Amino acid sequence: AQSVAQPEDQVNVAEGNPLTVKCTYSVSGNPYLFWYVQYPNRGLQFLLKYITGDNLVKGSYGFEAEFNKSQTSFHLKKPSALVSDSALYFCASAEGGGSYIPTFGRGTSLIVHP
Amino acid sequence: DTGVSQDPRHKITKRGQNVTFRCDPISEHNRLYWYRQTLGQGPEFLTYFQNEAQLEKSRLLSDRFSAERPKGSFSTLEIQRTEQGDSAMYLCASSRKDSAYNEQFFGPGTRLTVL
């Protein structure tokens, strides 16, 4: 069975500083990993995904994530945070074998202070 | 707006009543997913369709839950004999089949409150 852990319920960062939102995964086969963002009163939006290839994946709004197989992590990063990045961030993994059923973490609330 | 739409956005019902939610996916998407999200948790997968075929339904929470996608376009999720524990946000998402692990596009959700 697969699982995703987001160890931080909340991350606080000052505007202009780099941010990291942590995610670790546990899957039996090759990991297929995603980050989504949820703004207040809006649906989840896709940010980026790792399927194969380069360990550093670039996505929307200047976000990137680093896949680390040895640490089973897929942390979300941004070099310079904006107040508008404040939102709820979800890490997810998808099962292989054709079912493509995702498992989401419980989410991390990112608060960027002016 | 060509995104995923859900109707209604909010539903308040009394315990024991039946409720039905509708999801209209992005038109060219042939996969459609239903999730439940409770406060402080991530979306929890319920079921998904590829065109009109329901390929996974073992994770529907009980036999009170059912979903349909009769013509491979819109989908409905029905909860019969609602219970207070069914109160949650119900999310719908769609994606394309042509490439594995395509990102999903989510609707705004239907918030259900069972009194």
Distance between terminal CA atoms of chain B? 33
Length of chain A: 114
Of B43, B56, B107, the CB nearest to A99: B56
A77 near A57, Cβ under 8 Å? no
φ and ψ at B20, to 5 degrees?
Answer: -135, 135
| Model confidence pLDDT, tens digit, residues B18-28 | 999 999 999 98
| Model confidence pLDDT, tens digit, residues A20-68 | 999 999 987 788 899 999 988 788 999 999 988 889 999 989 999 999 9
B9, B26, B104, best to mutate vs chain A, most A CBs in 10 Å: B104
> How far apart (Å, rounded) are the C-alpha atoms in residues B75 and A27?
30
Place of tokens 């692990």: B101
Is the confidence at residue B100, as pLDDT, over 60?
Answer: no
CA–CA min distance A90, chain B (Å): 7
